[in-house]
Amino acid sequence: MPPFPPGMGRFEQGQGSVASPGEELLPMQIVVGSVLCDLKVWSDEEWAALSETERPLVYEHFPQLGWVGGVPRVQLN
pLDDT tens digits for range 30-72: 888 898 999 999 999 999 999 999 999 889 999 999 999 998 8
Residue 3 forms part of a structural domain? no
Q: Are 8 and 65 in contact (CB under 8 A)?
A: yes
Q: Does residue 74 register a pLDDT over 50?
A: yes
Binning pLDDT at 50, 70 and 90, where does residue 8 land? very low
In the DSSP assignment, the letter for residue 69 is E
Residue 63 forms part of a structural domain? yes
Q: Are strands 35-42 and 59-62 parallel, antiparallel or unpaired?
A: unpaired
CA distance 9 to 43: 15
Residue 8 forms part of a structural domain? no
For the entire predicted model, the pTM comes to 0.61
Binning pLDDT at 50, 70 and 90, where does residue 13 land? very low
Residue 46 forms part of a structural domain? yes
pLDDT at 18: 57
Residue 7 forms part of a structural domain? no
Structural domain count, the chain = 1
